[in-house]
Structure 1
Amino acid sequence: MADGWTSPLTERHARWERRRRAQAAFFWLVLPMVLLAMTVEGAQQLQPSWRAHRGVGTAGTFTVTRCVKLDCYGGGVWQSDDGTDTRRGVRLYDAPAVRHHVGDRIPALDTGLSYGVYVARGEAYRTTTVELIVGVLGLALCLLALAFWRRRGNAPPS
């Protein structure tokens, strides 16, 4: 064999090993972090979105102050109808399906979420509930997979 020559089988095995490690890193590091973020976000938003669906909260107006491409709901100012409460830098959830522009005013409820307000009688609670369920079930499946690997006598791949 010449110097520097490697077998095609050795190269294939090395590629397979790199791919296996990347998949393991995704499954054991990235996926659980995403699922945990979904669970936390869903848990934070479930009660406020349900209250908005029922029409419970402080009535006010969301004013669009920033638009990025087609998203004009990610930055705005909410002010209560009686003028006693103003919140800046909040997001509007369950926004109407029409295009808005900077300066548009949309009726919204403050239901207790620190970084957002909701349209009254909206359906955001549905996506919030799905997000929470997927996050919790996904984390449970990750824990079951970890228990399965440990029971078989294998440590999780690193």
Structure 2
Amino acid sequence: MFTAQQEDCGGRGPCTWKGDWVSDDGKQNRKNVRLAGDDVRVDNVGERVDALDTGSPTSVYADRHIGNTLWVVVWVLGAVALLVFCGRVIWRLLREHLLLRANRNPGSR
């Protein structure tokens, strides 16, 4: 868990946050490390963010696993809904085609 201590806007690029990191089991901790990662959202000093220590001497990385999983679920559900919709459209078209064909040739059954 990363706890934001100081916002660092060092003059170049976007601002980053520095702070302290503690492992989930509390056995490891790192002081004055930078929180890295895409789309990191920290607004206030003292705010806590799930973060992973990957061995970098100066940074820990925001753990976006929950957010990524949510997007995967959303995409999968969207794909399933699209497949169901397309399947129903194809089924209706096929059924109409077969019914029209059967009505044109009633003796061909």
More helix by share: 1
TM-score normalized by structure 1?
A: 0.34
Which structure would you say has the larger RCO, counting Cα contacts within 8 Å and 6 or more residues apart?
Answer: 1
TM-score normalized by structure 2?
A: 0.48
